[in-house]
Amino acid sequence: MRFWDTSALVPLIVDEASTARMAEILSDDPDITVWIGTNVEITSALVRRTKSDDQRALRNAEPLVASLASAWLEIDESPAVVDRAKYLVKSHRLRALDALQLAAALIACGYEPARLEFITLDNALASAARAEGFTVLP
């Protein structure tokens, strides 16, 4: 099982330079764990990447998002995630949503980061995850 940050999931939905690598990581272990806000973050990322006049591209991506979402495990322990995220923001100077992602990963592994790999393409989040004890991919 691996925890997937939104930045690593988006290339599975739209073609990017990291798409092949993310697909390879997913094929090695198809069990995806995410924070409950990930679906909103993915939608936001897709909207930002889509030209305002190209709603068809967004509609075409929605079944891929739904397929991923149907199989992933969502961490929805909101009070615990928020409490841990507040600590992480201070410790690692993360953006709020990145801190929530990392907090959800810590909860998913029972605060034993050696039990769960963390997948992100965000350098600041990767650095914080390593500092918390996660093995970070790619």
Q: Strands across the sheet with 73-75, in order?
A: 73-75, 32-35, 2-4, 117-119, 135-137
Are the CB atoms for 18 and 45 separated by under 8 Å? no
Q: What is the average pLDDT value for the chain, to the nearest integer?
A: 93
How confident is the model over 108-137, as pLDDT tens digits? Answer: 999 999 999 999 999 999 999 999 999 999
44: which 2 tokens? 């936001």
pLDDT at 31: 94
Average pLDDT rounded to a whole number, residues 33-52 = 88
Domain ranges of the chain: 2-137
Are the CB atoms for 17 and 83 separated by under 8 Å? no
The pLDDT of residue 52 is above 70: no
Distance (Å) of CA 83 to CA 16, 30, 52, 102, 110: 34, 29, 37, 12, 15
pLDDT at 60: 83
pLDDT at 59: 81
The pLDDT of residue 54 is above 80: no
Task: Give domain 2-137's CATH architecture.
Answer: 3-Layer(aba) Sandwich (3.40)
